[in-house]
Chains A and B, each alone.
Chain A
Amino acid sequence: MHEELETLLEMQDLHMQLRALEEGEVRDLESGLFDMGIEEALETLDQKILELQGRLEPRVQDRYRRLISAGNRAVVPVLGGVCYGCFVAVPTSWAAEADPNDKLNVCQNCGRFHYYPT
């Protein structure tokens, strides 16, 4: 897997976790059932995201930040040859590669990074 794609996946998962903790249902579950200190957890996640961001090329960082700050997911799966960010078909040659995750593919339509689940 492409190193930056791996970092992006991790960053997005952390962003999702962070956003979820800011919402009522997940926040209540995590603090109620698991006794999680929410404010401390949010800070820890924030710091980790920043640390990971530093591993990306500036242009990749910019794209990621732009997508995330617009409230979008930055990395989306490609399932059945379709980008799950904009639901437009991706070039079939991409998916035909031995491991399409070895390259950092960007959707030509919506600009999101692509991930091919196994």
Chain B
Amino acid sequence: MQLRDFFSTDAIALDLTTETKDETLRTLVGLFHLDEKSEGILFKMLKRRENLGSTGIGRGIAIPHCRSLVVNRLRVAFGRHTPGLDFKAIDEKPVHYIFLIVAPPLEVSNQYLPVLGKIAQFSKEPDVPEQLAAVTKPEEFLQLLEMKGV
């Protein structure tokens, strides 16, 4: 399983200009092109998850995630916010890189947790924040995932 196989270039936003965590989550959910109601439900679930504890894991990275019936397969998106957002991260520092993962309650191949684990593994590599900052187009982001062998 390769992480890059789960990302599509239209679900990668490298120039987020949102002002709040909520606005950012809504924007990233919007990359999945669901109907308005489904987007609302998904946003609500992600918010609920955030209320149980921030998904900002430190070093400028956050991994919001949830399962919901409104998606029929695992979906992932990536957003980069250069100025940085208050995400109530563990290290209390601004978040610049957001990996969004959503999956239906049941998946045939059960990829949700492995994908979450791989993104966490990728995020822990020392040079990843720096390399994510240097990416100029979605294809380069995919190449970075491939290069890191995740």
Q: Do A and B bind each other?
A: yes
Interface residues on B, range: 20 to 34
Task: Give the nearest-CB partner of B65 in chain A.
Answer: A34
Interface of A is mostly: helix
Nearest Cβ in chain A — how far from B94, in angstroms?
Answer: 18
CB atoms of A10 and B51 under 8 A apart = no
A20 / chain B contacts, CB cutoff of 8 Å: 67
B120 / chain A contacts, CB cutoff of 8 Å: 29, 33
Known: A34-B90, A37-B53, A118-B34. 9 other contacts (CB 8 A): A1-B37, A12-B69, A16-B105, A17-B67, A33-B57, A34-B55, A48-B48, A73-B105, A117-B69
Task: Give the nearest-CB partner of A44 in chain B.
Answer: B52
B71 / chain A contacts, CB cutoff of 8 Å: 117
B70 / chain A contacts, CB cutoff of 8 Å: 9, 115, 117-118
In the complex, identify which listed stretch (B2-10, B38-46, B133-141) lies at the interface while the others stay far away: B38-46
CB atoms of B113 and A17 under 8 A apart = no
CB atoms of A9 and B69 under 8 A apart = yes
| Residue in contact with B72 in the complex, picked from A10, A12, A40, A77, CB distance below 8 Å | A77
Closest 3 CB pairs of A and B: A36-B53, A41-B52, A117-B72
- Mark B residues whose CB is within 8 Å of A: 34-35, 37-38, 41, 44-45, 48-49, 51-55, 57, 63, 66-72, 90, 104-106, 113, 116-117, 120
Task: Give the nearest-CB partner of A1 in chain B.
Answer: B37
Kindly count the residue-residue contacts between A and B in the assembled complex, taking CB atoms under 8 Å apart: 74
| Residue in contact with A45 in the complex, picked from B41, B52, B105, CB distance below 8 Å | B52
Assuming the contacts A25-B113, A29-B117, A34-B57, asked whether A13 and B52 have C-beta atoms less than 8 A apart, the reply is no
Is A68 an interface residue, CB under 8 A from the partner? no
B66 / chain A contacts, CB cutoff of 8 Å: 13, 17
CA–CA, A15 and B65, complex, Å? 15
Assuming the contacts A20-B67, A33-B57, A34-B53, asked whether A9 and B117 have C-beta atoms less than 8 A apart, the reply is no
Nearest Cβ in chain B — how far from A99, in angstroms?
Answer: 9
Assuming the contacts A41-B52, A73-B105, asked whether A6 and B37 have C-beta atoms less than 8 A apart, the reply is yes
Task: Give the nearest-CB partner of A79 in chain B.
Answer: B72
Nearest Cβ in chain B — how far from A107, in angstroms?
Answer: 15
B48 / chain A contacts, CB cutoff of 8 Å: 14, 17, 48
